[in-house]
Amino acid sequence: MKFAMVHENYNVYDLKKSMKFYEEALGLKEKRRKTAEDGSYIIVYMGNENSDFELELTWLCDMERPYNLGDCEFHLAFRTDDFDAAYQKHKNMGCICYENPKMGIYFITDPDGYWLEIVPTR
C-alpha cells in the first residue's frame, strides 16, 4: 500500500490577503476553488509547477475572529533553489519570524500566523 501527500489545509480569516501573501512570498497561484452554494465557505487550492502538492486555504463565513493557532508548534516547509534571494525577499516583506543560521533555515509567518519553514536545496 502506498500513500502520497496531496495537500495541507489552513483555515484563513481573510482569503484575499492570504492568497496575495502566498503568491508574493512563495509563488503559489490558485489552481482551483470550491464555493458552497449557500456561501458558507470557499476553499482555494494553491500550488505551483514545481510540485503536485497543494496548499488548501479554507475561508468560513461564520468565523468572526482570527484563528487561535496555539503555540504554533507546527509548520509547512518549502525548499528553494535560491535561498539568499528568498531570504532577502522575505526580509523585505517583513514576514521572517525566526532564523536558525546554525541549521541554515528560517521561518516566515503568513497573515494568520502559520509558520512556513524555508530551506535551501542541499
Q: What is the pLDDT of residues 63-108, one digit of tens each?
A: 999 999 888 778 999 999 999 999 999 999 999 999 999 999 999 9
Position 1 pLDDT exceeds 80: no
Residue 2 lies in a domain: no
Max Cα-Cα span within the chain: 50
CATH number at residue 14: 3.10.180.10
pTM > 0.75: yes or no: yes
Number of domain units in the chain: 1
Residue 1 lies in a domain: no
CB distance 18 to 33 below 8 Å:
no
Q: Give the pLDDT confidence of 28-63 residue by residue, as tens digits.
A: 999 999 999 999 999 999 999 999 999 999 999 999
Position 5 pLDDT exceeds 90: no
Domain of residue 38 covers 7-64+72-120
**Residue indicated by cell numbers 480569516:** 13
Please tell me whether residue 23 adopts helix, strand or coil conformation: helix
